[in-house]
């Protein structure tokens, strides 16, 4: 009973002691809505290192795994809606989850998209000794018999990894539901399965291909960006220039709670814009395997809403949502 009283008293004290959130950024924090070590961790590290020197205290990175980001978005829509200190990492995967309703009631209108950390692009990868020399070889084979090719990637049906394959099939008017698709647990397992011959095509990302370029084991048939990328990917044609209308950008960036004051939001936007202008930031992106795609503030918000609308359309066509 004594314990209970102490506890009750302590809760009240705690409630009183918590300061009302001010509009200033005093303790910058980046929340990676996953376990340490993944893509969200990397995204936060970009903010941590890239914005270094613009804050009095170093930015803290904390982890909030659970529900592929649902736990974090939930928290920022219930308790921390106006926290000016915290930014949360997101990726196009999170946007796709919003589009397909995986986050329940929360949509793109419930957060404020702040800035990007960089981008990555989809890549169509086969083994070096594959009969598919060019993307058109693969696409012709799929057109002739959709069940003759086994695709694989690191995400489930309906994830962005699957989406890349679905977009390819859509470009030649095939039904994505007829694709032979195998879901692995992450890129590493998928590449192993590709090398081992379990799958014939791996729908990967350009960034993770850095360690495989020049090894002579894999061949990238096309990158899913709008334009050709810089070295070391300059020689690889885009899927679009080979005549197939399929593009997939993996956007990495940050959002904030929707009730954050304009002052705080704009202060963050300015800090990101200042970072984008520096050479160190470009170097940092390169180190982290990201390609430059620098958008912040209203510009980003607009671009993202457009993206989500596109995703909804594709998801509906593919039968993922009604």
Partner 1 sequence: MDAVITGLSAGFAVAFQPFNLSLVLIGCFAGTLIGALPGIGPINGVAILLPIAYGLGLPPESALILLAGIYYGAEYGGRISSILLNVPGDAGAVMTTLDGNPLAKRGEAGRALSLSAVASFFGGTFAVVLMSLSGPALASYAVTFSPSDYVALMVFAFASLASLVGSNSVKTLLAAVMGLMLASIGIDANTGVARYTFGIPDILAGIDFLVVVIGLFGMAELIHLVEQQVTGKLKPLALDKSFVSMKDLAFTKWTILRGSVIGFFIGILPGTGASVASAVAYGTEKRVAPNSENFGKGDIRGLAAPESANNAAAGGAMVPMLTLGIPGSGTTAILLGALLLFNVTPGPLMFEQRPEIAWGLIASMYIGNVALLVINLPLVGLFARLLTIPQQYLTPLIAVLAFIGVYSVVSNPHDLYMITLLGVFGWILRKLDFSLAPVILGFVLGGLFEDNLRRALSISGGDWSILVHSGNAIMLYVLAVVVVVVPIWLGRRKKKAAEA
Partner 2 sequence: MADRVFAGAILVIALLYTYIAFTVIKAPFQYDPLGPESWPKLLGIVASLCAIYLIVRPDVERLKADLGTLGRLAVVVVMLLAYGRLFEPLGFLVSTWVFCTAFGIMLGATPLKAFAFGAVTGTVGYFACTRLLELNLPAGLLNHIL
Size of the site for partner 1 (CB under 8 A): 56
If the CB atoms of residues 143 and 178 are measured against partner 1, the closer one turns out to be 178
CB distance 110 to 73 below 8 Å: yes
Q: Min. distance of Cβ 102 from partner 2 in angstroms?
A: 13
177 touches partner 2 (CB under 8 A): yes
Give whole-number Cα distances, 299 to 115, 121, 273, in Å.
Answer: 9, 20, 12
Q: Min. distance of Cβ 282 from partner 2 in angstroms?
A: 28
If the CB atoms of residues 48 and 303 are measured against partner 1, the closer one turns out to be 48
Q: Which long-range contacts (CB under 8 A, 24 or more apart) does 187-195 make?
A: 187/154, 188/154, 189/154, 190/152, 190/153, 190/154, 191/125, 191/218, 193/152, 194/125, 194/126, 194/127, 194/152, 194/218, 195/127
Tokens describing residue 293: 């795609």
Site string for partner 1, 257-296 (x = CB under 8 A): ------------------------------xxx-------
- Which of the choices partner 2, partner 1, none does residue 37 contact, using the CB cut-off of 5 to 8 A by kind? partner 1
If the CB atoms of residues 178 and 283 are measured against partner 2, the closer one turns out to be 178
Other CB atoms within 10 A of residue 211 CB: 10
188 touches partner 1 (CB under 8 A): yes
Helices (H) and strands (E) in the chain, counts: 10, 9
312 touches partner 1 (CB under 8 A): no
Residues 11-30 interacting with partner 2 (rule: CB under 8 A): 11, 13-15, 17
Other CB atoms within 10 A of residue 172 CB: 15
CB distance 187 to 160 below 8 Å: no
The rounded distance, in Å, linking the Cα atoms of 56 and 59 is 9
- Which of the choices partner 2, partner 1, none does residue 7 contact, using the CB cut-off of 5 to 8 A by kind? partner 2
DSSP state of 147: G
316 touches partner 2 (CB under 8 A): no
319 touches partner 2 (CB under 8 A): yes
If the CB atoms of residues 63 and 265 are measured against partner 2, the closer one turns out to be 63
Residues 137-176 interacting with partner 1 (rule: CB under 8 A): 147, 150, 155-159, 162
Per CB under 8 A, the list member of 99, 179, 223, 304 interacting with partner 2 is: 179
Provide the CA 290 distance to its chain's centre, in angstroms: 11
Provide the CA 169 distance to its chain's centre, in angstroms: 22
Match 């799929």 to its residue by tokens.
142
Phi-psi region of 101 (alpha: psi -120 to 50; beta: other; left: phi over 0): left
Other CB atoms within 10 A of residue 82 CB: 16
Site string for partner 1, 78-107 (x = CB under 8 A): ------------------------xxx---
State the residues that interact with partner 1 by CB under 8 A.
35-38, 41-42, 45, 48, 61-68, 70-71, 74, 102-104, 147, 150, 155-159, 162, 180-186, 188-189, 191-193, 195-199, 210-212, 214-215, 217, 287-289
Q: Which residues bind partner 2 (CB under 8 A)?
A: 3-4, 6-7, 10-11, 13-15, 17, 62-63, 157-158, 177, 179-182, 319-320
């Amino acid at each position: 009973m004594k314990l209970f009283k102490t506890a009750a008293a302590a809760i009240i004290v705690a409630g009183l002691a918590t300061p009302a959130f001010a509009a200033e950024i005093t303790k910058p924090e980046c929340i990676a809505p996953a376990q340490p070590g993944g893509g969200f961790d990397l995204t936060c590290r970009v903010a941590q290192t890239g914005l270094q020197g613009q804050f009095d205290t170093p930015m803290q990175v904390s982890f909030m795994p659970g529900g592929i980001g649902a736990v974090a978005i939930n928290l920022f829509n219930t308790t921390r809606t106006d926290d000016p200190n915290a930014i949360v990492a997101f990726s196009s995967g999170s946007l796709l989850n919003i589009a397909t309703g995986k986050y329940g009631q929360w949509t793109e209108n419930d957060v404020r998209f702040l800035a990007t950390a960089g981008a990555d692009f989809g890549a169509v990868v086969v083994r070096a000794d594959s009969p598919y020399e060019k993307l058109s070889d693969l696409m012709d084979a799929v057109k002739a018999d959709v069940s003759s090719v086994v695709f694989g990637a690191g995400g489930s049906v309906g994830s962005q990894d699957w989406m890349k394959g679905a977009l390819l099939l859509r470009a030649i008017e095939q039904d994505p539901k007829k694709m032979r698709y195998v879901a692995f647990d992450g890129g590493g397992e998928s590449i192993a399965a590709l090398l081992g011959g379990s799958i014939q095509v791996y729908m990967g990302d350009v960034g993770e291909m850095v360690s495989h370029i020049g090894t002579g084991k894999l061949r990238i048939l096309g990158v899913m960006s709008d334009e050709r990328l810089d070295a070391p990917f300059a020689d690889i044609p885009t899927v679009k220039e080979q005549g197939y209308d399929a593009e997939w950008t993996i956007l990495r960036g940050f959002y904030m709670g929707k009730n954050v004051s304009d002052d705080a939001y704009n202060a963050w936007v300015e800090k990101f814009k200042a970072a984008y202008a520096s050479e160190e930031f470009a170097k940092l992106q390169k180190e982290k395997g990201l390609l430059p795609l620098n958008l912040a503030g209203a510009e980003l918000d607009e671009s993202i809403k457009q993206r989500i609308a596109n995703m909804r359309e594709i998801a509906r066509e593919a039968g993922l949502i009604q």
